[in-house]
Amino acid sequence: MKAGNRIHRFVWLALILVPAAIAWAEYADVIINETSEDAGVSPVIYPHWFHRIRYQCSVCHVDLNFKTKAGGNGITMDKIIEGEYCGACHNGDIAWSPENCDLCHSGVEGLETGIRGGHQTSGPGIY
């Protein structure tokens, strides 16, 4: 009975500590809403994590001239359709084409341009 209680205590402690040790991931999604909502479409959510799995930083930030500043690029749908910025890949050839409005313009109302996840860390890691 005593041993059982001890195991119980350990199990309950584990049940509490395991979730407490897990930090919520920050996605560093880039929100772009410079002109979107003014033009009557939802803000753009650019999933940086999804793209970095496929391409190195310099492909977009050097070769395609994306400045490392959210909202600092003056991206318009006209430029994308002409093959600049997102349109370098999102042209129906390398990636799906720009007529899939919803896939980028998927944000909730009123999001502000910026990176979500940066500087919101819940504290240092273990090393």
Partner 1 sequence: MNRASISSVLLAIGVVIATPMLLAGQWSSLRKDGLHDPSNPAVRVLQEPAESLSLLAPDTAGNNVDWAAAVRLGQISPRASLDNSRDTEILDTVVVMKNSLTLLPVTFPHEAHTAWMSCAMCHDGIFVAENDANDITMAKILDGEYCGVCHGAVSFPLTECNRCHDVSRQTQAPAVNGDATVQRQ
The residue assigned the tokens 């006209």 is: 78
Among 38, 40, 99, 125, binds partner 1 (CB under 8 A): 125
Q: Give the DSSP letter of residue 86.
A: G
Backbone angles phi, psi at 87, to 5 degrees: -70, -10
Q: CA 7, CA 77: separation in Å to the nearest integer?
A: 61
Nearest-approach distance from CB 98 to partner 1, in angstroms: 14
Tokens found for residue 100: 């899939």
**How many residues sit in the footprint of partner 1 (CB under 8 A)?**
60
Q: Does the footprint of partner 1 cover residue 87 (CB under 8 A)?
A: no
Sign of CA dihedral 68, 53, 33, 115: negative
The contact pattern for partner 1, residues 3-42, with x = CB under 8 A and - = no contact, is xxx-xx--x--xx--xx--xxxxxxxx-x----------x
**112 alpha carbon, distance to own chain's centre:** 14
Among 40, 53, 78, 99, binds partner 1 (CB under 8 A): 53
Among 38, 45, 77, 83, binds partner 1 (CB under 8 A): 45
- The answer to whether the CB of 100 falls within 8 A of the CB of 35 is no
Tokens found for residue 90: 């999102």
Residue ranges that bind partner 1, judged by CB under 8 A: 1, 3-5, 7-8, 11, 14-15, 18-19, 22-29, 31, 42, 45, 47-50, 52-59, 61-64, 68, 88-89, 94, 102-103, 106-109, 111, 115-119, 121, 123-127
